[in-house]
Structure 1
Amino acid sequence: MAQSRDFARPAALMALGAAALGLTAVVVSARARQAERDNPPTGRIIDVDGLKVHYAEVGDGEPLVLLHGNGSMLQDFMSSGFVQAAAKRYRVIAFDRPGYGYTERPRSTIWTPSAQADLLRTALQQIGVSHSLVLGHSWGASVAIALALDHPDMVRGLILESGYYYGSVRADVVLMSGPALPLIGDILRYTVSPPVARLLWPSMIRKLFSPAPVAATFEGVPSEMAIRPSQLRASAAESALMIPDALAVQNRYAELSMPVAIVAGAGDKMVDLATQAVRLHRVLQNSSLHVVQDCGHMVHHTAPGEVMSAVETVAQAVEAAPRLKTDG
């Protein structure tokens, strides 16, 4: 009789735990749907090879494509002061990358920077863009580089902001990759991960902006959209891909022949200035380095004028290139 009770307790606890996880999953799913109702698409959704791709655009002129970082969405750029300044001269086009915002991310594809670059190239062709300046922030910088390496005809110039270019040992990347694991990751992102992310969100954002204060413009980025299960999976998968991709592509950087502006915050807590931005600048002959003092990872919010200056540097170099060839 006592032995029967000993078996009953663990079984009851497991049943209770399963019920709690199930209830949490229901609540998480409901909050994700509410986040989407509160934050409908702000741009246009197009079909690209059977995938829904969301983008927003503002302004006229030469195309300037914006690719956001890990865990974010196009509102990160569109809400910043940088876009308002850039739209006075450029046709600014900001994409939700696969898995973020309202762009789909099928699990049948490993969404490396090259895979994303292929999708975005097709999307740009569909909306009438044959070549452009491309600005990538953080993980988006890796996608911008892949676009330039794999489809150089599409990219006239690159602006790389707060990117991670060279592989290194990073424990934080391993810890952030959990929700991308098969099965256990699915359980995590529908139960534990969203409330934990919600709890940690303020401190994570402070770290992204530090040593600068969090910019008021960042209020335009909907946090509840960022912690939906689908977006947590995309973010975790990109965390897992970050180091392998950098290691795989870092020997190809010298192939980038177009003008490149490298933008970095001097106090960035996410990527090291000396071993990332400065090192890349030394490799790229046709590059300029723009180090912003008292600034962290989110330069386009904290110092939008500095990013705009980097864009203008690249645009001027692109315009001067044909004259240089003629003079030679």
Structure 2
Amino acid sequence: MLIAYLLACLVIAIAAVVFVLRRFTRRITRRAEAAVPPDGQCLDIDGERLHYVDFGRGPAIVFVHGLCGQLRNFAYLPLATLAQTHRIVLIDRPGSGYSTRDAQRDGGLTSQANAIARLIDALALDRPLVVGHSLGGAISLALALDHPQRVGALALIAPLTQPVSDLPAPFRSLAIRNAAWRRWIARTLAVPIGMMTGRTTLAHVFGPEDAPKDFLIRGGGVLGYRPGNFEAGCADVLAAERDMPGLAARYAALTVSVDMLYGRNDRILDCRVHGETMPALSERVRLTLVDGGHMLPVTQPDATLQWLRDVIARMPTPQARQCGAAQPHMTVSTDSANDAG
């Protein structure tokens, strides 16, 4: 009798804790969405709702964020200045930010690249420059390989380019293979644990540079405290683990120019592995190394914008593309943090 009573008490206690955690998670989710509401508009494409921001006029530039991020990760760049001469399109990747992910899709690199290709078509963008950060860099590479006619050039910032056998410390908790288990964690433990470890996580992701004090709001970081974003992050990690070997084997087939900006002190993705190897794998790659970490669009926005302008200046004109003008052989440059490009 005593044992049965104790077991009943334990079950009740566990149920109460789970109830409190779920309520806490829902409350934090509402607060996060109130603090960072949708910035743009949504477009329904093949069962997915893609949230994007579209402003400016001129040749298009599409921005694709990284793991556990959203489109506000690019908010520190002087985009208003760039929008004076270019059309700026910022995308929440499927499952991230305010974009949804079709339940039948697993977050594969090809699947996400296909969604971006469909968005490019829907917005009638003429072979835009695609800017991809971190995991967004790998998806941008998949886009250029699978849909080369939709891409004018790639500008990749600290991109994931090679298979990763050991996840960076801040993302190891995302490698949950059982979908039911990660769904339960997302709705109970992920948010409170994420809040407790958030300062340490940001220090690692941004290091050796400092994370801005307003990153949770201006940079959209607070949206990571939502169950759906945690689940999408888990799926993204597993998809990258599965898909990167096949993607990396295809770089010789790239038909567009690829400029890469990497921080020498990146603590998330080693610039020697993911950056310095790339020019040898494709003659279309140009690598620029600067002193800095992983979050260059946030920590060095002016230098990043200057690098982007240099990339834009090298892009072939529409007339040259139509005539099949040859792309220049790409080389490696190692500029300082203050004069990237």
TM-score (norm 2): 0.88
1:299 aligns with 2:296: yes
Residue 255 of structure 1: which of 238, 253, 256 is its match? 253
SS at 1:105's partner residue? coil
Residue 225 of structure 2 aligns with an amino acid whose one-letter code is: I
Q: Which moved more, 1:226-235 or 1:79-88?
A: 79-88
Aligned equivalent of 1:14: 11
Aligned equivalent of 1:128: 124
Displaced runs of 4+ in structure 1, greater than 4 A? 171-174, 320-324
Structure with more of its chain in helix, by fraction: 1
1:217 CA displacement: 6.4
Aligned equivalent of 2:229: 231
Residue 147 of structure 2: which of 148, 151, 176 is its match? 151
Aligned equivalent of 1:65: 62
Aligned equivalent of 2:105: 109
1:28 aligns with 2:18: no
Deviations 1:242-281 (A, max 9, x none): 2222112111011112111011111000011111111012
Q: Which moved more, 1:264-273 or 1:164-173?
A: 164-173
1:277 aligns with 2:241: no
1:57 CA displacement: 2.2
1:43 aligns with 2:40: yes
Question: Does the aligned pair in 1 maintain the 2:109–2:239 contact within 8 Å?
Answer: no
The 1:38/1:212 distance shift into structure 2, 3 A limit, reads closer
Q: Map 1:177-256 to 2 at 5 A.
A: 177-178=175-176, 181-215=178-212, 218=215, 219-256=217-254
Number of aligned positions between the proteins: 322
Partner Cα separation in structure 2 for residue 267 and residue 110 of structure 1: 32
Uncovered stretches (5+) of structure 2, i.e. residues with no partner: 328-341
Partner Cα separation in structure 2 for residue 216 and residue 198 of structure 1: 15
SS at 1:236's partner residue? helix
The share of aligned pairs that are identical, in percent, is 24
Partner Cα separation in structure 2 for residue 141 and residue 129 of structure 1: 19
SS at 1:144's partner residue? helix
Partner Cα separation in structure 2 for residue 50 and residue 141 of structure 1: 24
Uncovered stretches (5+) of structure 1, i.e. residues with no partner: none
Partner Cα separation in structure 1 for residue 326 and residue 178 of structure 2: 54
Question: Does the aligned pair in 2 maintain the 1:261–1:313 contact within 8 Å?
Answer: no
Residue 175 of structure 2 aligns with an amino acid whose one-letter code is: S
Deviations 1:177-203 (A, max 9, x none): 22x632211111111111111111112
SS at 2:140's partner residue? helix
Aligned equivalent of 2:114: 118
1:326 CA displacement: 8.4
Q: Which moved more, 1:30-39 or 1:44-53?
A: 30-39
1:65 CA displacement: 0.2
Question: Does the aligned pair in 2 maintain the 1:85–1:308 contact within 8 Å?
Answer: no
Residue 98 of structure 1: which of 79, 90, 94 is its match? 94
1:85 CA displacement: 4.1
